[in-house]
Amino acid sequence: MKNSPMSCIRCGNCCTRFAVCVTPSDIERVSKFTGKKPFEFVGVLEEAPQRERTEPAILINNTYSVLVLRRKPDNKCKFYGGSGCTIYSARPMLCRCYPFTFGNGEGIIEVCSRACNVVWEPKDPELSNYKTNCGTYKVELRAYKELATKWNSNGGGTFSEFLEFISRSQNKSI
């Protein structure tokens, strides 16, 4: 592993190799930024056995699935362009926190990454930004888990119905 005083070396591995899980808050943020409807950039993937992420699984057509950003035919993130992320200022919280997650209290912990071989050692102000983003992500995930529990307890439905459900739940049109 290579040590770097700068967190991200902009290699694109995380954007080009793996799906990005999203929350309803992410969907709203990206939709506002791009002017696109959620079905244009969000999809679902069947929940993988022993998956490493903690985003809630939702019942879509009787299958537990996770919400993700759509991918291009070459399997890169829909928003990954030649010079990087095209929605950087509105990117999902998972992207903002990567490769960290929230720890107990105010701390963050580095996750074992299959996409990045750099040991990240951020210093302030970058470290403070990671802590803030991980805290925000924790709150957004908690709200999403409540929505997912309600959705799943009612038997789930189609992907379109889920998008309508989260829009109604947030009292917003996304």
pLDDT tens for each residue of 155-169: 999 999 999 999 998
Model pLDDT for residues 67-96, shown as the tens digit of each residue: 999 999 998 999 999 888 999 999 999 999
Q: Which of 121, 143, 108 is nearest to 28 (CA)?
A: 143
Q: Of the given ranges (52-66, 116-130, 133-147), which has the lowest mean pLDDT?
A: 116-130
Q: Is residue 61 part of a domain?
A: yes
Structural domain contains residue 54: yes
Give the per-residue pLDDT at 54.
79
CA distance 115 to 16: 9
Cβ atoms of 43 and 50 within 8 Å: the answer is: no
Is 174 part of any domain? Answer: no
Instruction: Look at residue 8 and tell me if it is in a domain.
Output: yes
Give the chain's radius of gyration (CA, Å): 16
Domain of residue 164 covers 2-169
Q: Is residue 108 part of a domain?
A: yes
Strand residues in 28-117 grouped as ranges (E): 42-46, 58-60, 63-69, 80-81, 84-85, 100-102, 108-110
Total of domains in the chain: 1
Enter the tokens of residue 152.
Answer: 């799943």
Q: How far apart are CA 174 and CA 162, in angstroms?
A: 12
